[in-house]
Structure 1
Amino acid sequence: MKRKDTVTRQIPCPCYDVEACESWLTDQAARGLFLEQWGLYTARFRRDIPRVVRYRITAARLKGSVLFSAPSAPGEEETDLYAAAGWEFVCSWQEFFFYCCRDPHAPELHTDPAIQAISLKMAVRTAVSNFLAQLMMLPVIVSRSFWEFPFSSLVEDPLLCLLYLLFCLSILLLAGRNLYSIFRFRHRLRQGLPPRHRKDWRPIARIHRLLVNLARCSAGLLFLLLLGSVLLPSRATQLSNYHEPLPFATLSDLAEGTLVPDEDLGRNTIDLRHTLLAPAIYHYYESGQITQNGQVILDATMAVTYYNTRFSRLAQQLAGELHETHEPYADLPEPLPTLPGIDAAWAYRSENGAFRQLILCKDSRVMSVFWTDSEHTTDFQQLVPIFADIFSNAQ
């Protein structure tokens, strides 16, 4: 079988570690692989007869900033000057330019370390801006994730949250590694020390590849999970098809009479699932009327969110978030009677009383009832003890 003329290799170290990259490329040339293109994670090489080839990396001499893009190639004057000295431009990546030289007697591109340190101005500023951008984003990610409610998201999708956090953390560590490498290299040059063109790149490669693979794997799995959540059918079941006992009150528990469900089937569903942090999660929606002797005594819609978590502290954090879910509809605090067996309880209502929310917490369980009764068919305060009693005694 004929060998390919080109081959792709995973990049073992970032361009910001100039000495390690130059050493790696020189070692690849000794194995018959000569750089053609440098990419984000991989580099493409051309196969040829192994020979000694020196590689050098320079940086564009422009102001580094996230608002300014680096040139795709060095200027014509610079290219001609280096070519006259025996150095051939190979490719570029961001603000870095790659040169190679096959003449062992050709002079170095840079003979003055202090001047070379000045030429790294754009690379240093770009590394700083990238790191600060990632550093400022991490607290936002940790506190809010990319959902509005971090604790609810953590309980509902712990694997999704973990993958996203790993991805962001690995990107931050890569940016920090780039910043450290370019600062250390510039410090060496400022001291008047020449670059180490034969630096041992292997220890650096282990760390870099670990972080890169962590970022790539977490991003890939994250994409698959998000895609699955979009493509997979809904887990919701019609209430008419669900006959298991529930750990919270339903419309039938709140008043005696005949339940007449809403004709809209989408308003009478239950979604039961479990995650690593919550053995039971219910999303319950019920809309209908309770009638007695042909008279409507209760006409309401209720949405119940119920969590049986593994930690009581987590349940308390969830309780604080659940109010924010419906805050625009029920944002006025409402006093509650004493509710035996309940660790904590909160109630809110809208100004006209059509919307209500009750949040109950006991041990590691928490639930939120969002109630709509636009006709005011019943006093919600009278229903609160029923909700609390059934929730408190549920297993």
Structure 2
Amino acid sequence: MAARGLFVEKMGRTLARFRPGTPQSVRYRLTAARLKGGWLDSAPSEPLSSEKALYAEYGWYFVCAQQEFFLYACEDPRAPELHTDPAVQALSLKMARRSAWWSFLGLFAALILQFLLNGRGRLVRFLVEMPLLSCCIYLYFFGTLFLAFRDLYNILKLSRRLRQGYEPDHQKNWHAAAWIHRISQGITTCALVLLLLGGFGALVQSGTRQPITDYQGPLPFATLTDLADGTPVWDEADARKRSNLEIRHSLLAPTILEYDESGKILQNGKVVLDTSLAVCYYDTRTPWLAHLLVNDLHESQSLLADEPQPLPDLPGTDAAYGYSGKDGVFRQLILVQGRRVLCVLWTDPDGTQNFDRMAPRFAEVFAASA
């Protein structure tokens, strides 16, 4: 850049500022900032005045700080190098090594924490419901982790070379490494921007709700009126929303349905069915995705129903899974057929709405809607 008449004035993490001038040959060197304080001390913004004065005697002047390093420049081709003892230079890298370790371990811990908090019952569902946002999240996390690992690797590699008594290779071609850094930094930055835009879009945009009677085609799940003959009586709190069906779409699941219903079915004034339903339905792009969703759908409600239960024969389904709570109040049924998966959670407070009675009817309606 100096040979083209551009001289650096300030360097940041991703951008640098240059001033124009007369083109000339300039040597630039990074020297590590000295570590004097504890682990929580930040890197100084400039070297000590005594250090600057010493280097100035040998033809080197301070330009700016760049994280844990100071940038010096020299226009005299006969001036000696800043460092002539590799062992001493290795000791000066202490702050840079500490910062690189902290950055890598912190990002690695954040990634593990992300999986622990969102991995149980969420990873596949989040990918299916918001594939672009999910990809941006992991591109950003793995991109920043790669950059941190690369920084750590390079610092440790340089430290090892210096401890072995070899001077830094100032003539090494850095262009290949620069391209790796630029591509990685570009992908990470784009992922962060898309993540922020996608997160904002997800907050302001939700699924559409419509009366369940307006749904085109047969419903892929059974409602209260499909489970028993008689007169339906819905709970007062549920009366306003019982006819609303939430419909969402994504690239990996063209149709996602959620429905809640709570009420009773009466025959001659006698209650024959009293339950609450929570239904999730996914019509995915591939059968592989449908089967992957099974574990997440179960884990999302495993606190209510976690004990596997035997199921009757359910024709028309590829796979079926039944779970019940320890007290038997909650029961969960998951059905898979081709690219479709259905999860139903219902209540059985009196022990009459068991799998032998309910599962065949759910499976019948689910298979008929294919």
Task: Tell me the equivalent position of 2:194.
Answer: 221
> Please, which of 353, 369, 373 is the counterpart of residue 344 of structure 2?
369
> Please, which of 11, 36, 40 is the counterpart of residue 9 of structure 2?
36
Alignment of 1:1-395 (within 5 A): 28-62=1-35, 67-135=40-108, 138=111, 148-242=121-215, 244-262=217-235, 264=238, 265-293=240-268, 295-372=270-347, 374=349, 376=350, 379-381=353-355, 382-395=357-370
Mapped to 2, the partners of 1:331 and 1:69 lie a distance apart of 49
Compared with structure 1, are the counterparts of its residues 147 and 164 closer, same or farther at alpha carbon in structure 2 (3 Å cutoff)? farther
Compared with structure 1, are the counterparts of its residues 314 and 121 closer, same or farther at alpha carbon in structure 2 (3 Å cutoff)? same
Give, in angstroms, the shift of residue 98 of structure 1.
1.4
Compared with structure 1, are the counterparts of its residues 377 and 292 closer, same or farther at alpha carbon in structure 2 (3 Å cutoff)? farther
Give, in angstroms, the shift of residue 310 of structure 1.
3.5
Mapped to 2, the partners of 1:65 and 1:205 lie a distance apart of 32
Give, in angstroms, the shift of residue 219 of structure 1.
1.0
Mapped to 1, the partners of 2:181 and 2:367 lie a distance apart of 52
Note if contact 1:65-1:122 (Cα within 8 Å) is conserved in structure 2.
Answer: no
Note if contact 1:65-1:129 (Cα within 8 Å) is conserved in structure 2.
Answer: no
Q: Which residue identity is paired with 1:290? A: I
Answer with 145-154 or 385-394: which moved more: 145-154
Answer with 163-172 or 119-128: which moved more: 119-128
Give, in angstroms, the shift of residue 147 of structure 1.
7.3
What do the CA deviations read for 1:91-138 (whole angstroms, capped 9, x no partner)? 222211112234444332112233222222332343344334445555
Mapped to 2, the partners of 1:193 and 1:329 lie a distance apart of 64
Give, in angstroms, the shift of residue 232 of structure 1.
1.8
Q: Secondary structure at the match of 2:310?
A: coil
Q: Which residue identity is paired with 1:75? A: L
Compared with structure 1, are the counterparts of its residues 267 and 227 closer, same or farther at alpha carbon in structure 2 (3 Å cutoff)? farther
Q: Secondary structure at the match of 2:80?
A: coil
Q: Secondary structure at the match of 1:37?
A: strand
Mapped to 2, the partners of 1:268 and 1:85 lie a distance apart of 83
Compared with structure 1, are the counterparts of its residues 267 and 39 closer, same or farther at alpha carbon in structure 2 (3 Å cutoff)? farther
Mapped to 2, the partners of 1:41 and 1:221 lie a distance apart of 18
Give, in angstroms, the shift of residue 391 of structure 1.
1.9
Task: Tell me the equivalent position of 1:10.
Answer: none
Q: Secondary structure at the match of 2:13?
A: coil
Q: Which residue identity is paired with 2:330? A: F
Mapped to 2, the partners of 1:33 and 1:204 lie a distance apart of 22
Note if contact 2:33-2:69 (Cα within 8 Å) is conserved in structure 1.
Answer: yes
Give, in angstroms, the shift of residue 213 of structure 1.
0.5
Give, in angstroms, the shift of residue 65 of structure 1.
9.2
Q: Secondary structure at the match of 1:304?
A: strand
RMSD over aligned Cα atoms: 3.0
Give, in angstroms, the shift of residue 165 of structure 1.
1.8
Q: Secondary structure at the match of 1:219?
A: helix
Note if contact 2:3-2:25 (Cα within 8 Å) is conserved in structure 1.
Answer: yes
Mapped to 2, the partners of 1:234 and 1:274 lie a distance apart of 8
Q: Which residue identity is paired with 2:331? A: R
Mapped to 2, the partners of 1:312 and 1:160 lie a distance apart of 22
Mapped to 2, the partners of 1:146 and 1:324 lie a distance apart of 10
Tell me the number of residue pairs that the alignment of Structure 1 and Structure 2 aligns.
367
Q: Secondary structure at the match of 2:46?
A: coil
